[in-house]
Amino acid sequence: MSIPGPALSRNSKSRAEAVTAVAQRTSGRISAREVAVWDPLVRLIHWTLALTILLNATVIEDESTAHEWIGYVALGLVGLRVIWALVGPTHARFSSFPPSPARAARHLRAIFAKEHSVFLSHNPLGALMVYNIWLSVIALGVTGYMMTTLAFFGVEWVEEAHEVIFGWLVLSVALHVAGVALETRRSGVKLVRAMITGRKNIPEGSCMK
């Protein structure tokens, strides 16, 4: 049994798509296709970092040893994520989400123009937020460490810097969460779920970037 040559030639493409469409309609996985984007290391680092920030900002006593240790863990997490962004898989790499205000501005325009674009890695605005949060955590870790050293113990500007950066981080996290909520509504990609399962659902009719 072999496949007839000419039959495959002309509109076989659309025919094949019809096969796929019927096959999907009856399989329960109706909605859209899913793409694996976040590897387990990215997800683990993300949620652990969120946990350390939450812990140090809320329940942990400010000048306790636990606060210091959790701070160092957060610093280590960012360090590990940066290494992974250099050597890791495609979507986790710096090259997938370059810090580019120009791209972010273009993305903003696309949002207002109601384009249905979907980014597999971070979207350009989200990418800026990623770098902002990482830098804030690093700055918090460094000023926090300085407070424990003899040279900077009790120095006022260090403590003030730590406080100011903390305020900035809280604001950033709030913006991050709001951004995720808005982008989820706009693009139809369930972003929180993607950061848990690692898979982004790509709604039909949206163009992938």
Partner 1 sequence: MKLGLWPAKTKERRATILAGLILVQALCALFFIADVIEDLRLDGRIDGPHMVLEFVAAVALVGGVIFLMIELRGLLARMSDMQTGLDIAHGHLADIIEGFFDEWGLTDAERDVAIMILKGLDNDAIARVRNTAAGTVRAQATRIYAKSRTDGRAQFISLFVEELLAGNTQLGDI
Q: Contact positions toward partner 1, by CB under 8 A?
A: 1-4, 7-8, 12, 15-20, 22-23, 25-27, 36, 39-41, 43-45, 48, 72-73, 76-77, 79-80, 83-84, 87-89, 193, 196-197
Cβ proximity to partner 1: between 21 and 174 the closer is 21
The radius of gyration of the chain from alpha carbons, rounded to an integer in Å, stands at 23
Cβ proximity to partner 1: between 106 and 193 the closer is 193
Cβ proximity to partner 1: between 91 and 162 the closer is 91
φ/ψ of residue 189, rounded to 5: -85, 125
Q: CA separation (Å) from 159 to 146, 165, 169, 188?
A: 9, 10, 15, 42
Q: How far is the CB of 179 from partner 1 (least distance, A)?
A: 21
Question: Which distant-in-sequence residues (6+ apart) come within 8 Å of 55 by Cβ?
Answer: 70
Q: How far is the CB of 23 from partner 1 (least distance, A)?
A: 6
Distance CA 151, CA 101 (A): 38
Distance CA 25, CA 13 (A): 18
Cβ proximity to partner 1: between 40 and 205 the closer is 40
Phi-psi region of 154 (alpha: psi -120 to 50; beta: other; left: phi over 0): left
Q: How far is the CB of 20 from partner 1 (least distance, A)?
A: 5
Question: Three-class SS of residue 88?
Answer: coil
Q: How far is the CB of 153 from partner 1 (least distance, A)?
A: 15
Question: Which distant-in-sequence residues (6+ apart) come within 8 Å of 68 by Cβ?
Answer: 144, 148
Q: How far is the CB of 9 from partner 1 (least distance, A)?
A: 10
Tokens read off for 15: 């025919």
Cβ proximity to partner 1: between 88 and 188 the closer is 88
